[in-house]
Amino acid sequence: MKLRSIPLIARIVLAGIVLSAFGGFIVPAGHAASEVMVVAHGSVPVESLSRDAVQEIFLGRKTRWSDGQKITLATLKEGEEHEAFLRMYVGKTPHQFKNYWKSQVFTGRGKAPEAFTSPDELAEFVTNTPGAIGYLPQRAYQNQLKSFMIE
């Protein structure tokens, strides 16, 4: 069978590329950078963290605090704070972060972090879960939870 005998599939592919690429350019890709702070349960025996340490924690490469306590991750599902945190501290986009954890889960390498719809839910989880770490909008939650200096 020759190529010209199946033009429909080729047309669909090309149309998809052109339309979607055009669509992609007109959807605003950027978001205003939000100020986020890294927060943790009061039992966490750390006062400051490096950016690399935050990245290792949220990618599941560092799983315990210095006292042996298990690290439990808390993340937001979406939103500006979520995007800003991942960009600033994890070096991934929300899509890349989600894919990373899907890969871990579907290959038996790890358990996906807890994901919350609202910052309030995340704050409550971190407050009540020993060893938990998460991130929240700085303005709204300052002084409510233990927060870190990021070096």
Partner 1 sequence: MKSAVKIMFLSALFAMCCFSGNARAYEYQGVDIRGFISQGYLQSTDNNFFAETEDGTSQFNEAGINFSAEVSDRLRLGVQFLSRDLGTIGNNEVILDWAIADYHFRDWLGLTVGNMKFVHGLYNETRDLDMVRTFILMPQSVYIEAWREAISSIQGAGLYGDLGLSDMGSLSYDLQYGTVNLDSDKGAARLLGDQWPFEGMGLLVDVDQINVDYTYAGSIRWITNLEGLILGGSTWGYQFEADATTLLDTTNPMAAAMLQNNPGFVDLVGPLNAYGARFMLSPSEFGVETVSYTASMEFMWRNLVFAAEYMRTTYNIEFRNSPLFTTLEPVLSANGVAVQDGTIEVDQFSSVGYYASLAYRFAPWFELGTYYSVYYPNEDDKDGKERVAKGLDDQDHRGWLKDIALTTRFDVNENWIVKLEAHKMDGSAILLGADNPAPEDPAEDRYEEDWYLFAAKMTFHF
Binders of partner 1 in range 48-77 (CB under 8 A): 52, 56, 61-64, 70
* C-alpha torsion sign, points 7, 9, 15, 21: negative
In angstroms, the CA 103 to CA 118 distance is 25
CB closer to partner 1, 29 vs 143: 29
Residue 116 three-state SS: strand
Nearer to partner 1, 33 or 105 (CB): 105
- Calpha distance 26→123 (Å, rounded): 35
- The window from 13-21, 32-40, 121-129, 143-151 that contacts partner 1 (CB under 8 A) reads 13-21
- Angle, vertex CA 60, rays to CA 78 and CA 111, nearest 5: 75
Point out which residues bind partner 1 (CB under 8 A): 1-3, 6, 9-10, 12-13, 16-17, 20-21, 23-25, 27, 29, 52, 56, 61-64, 70, 91-93, 95-96, 99, 102-103, 105-109, 111-112
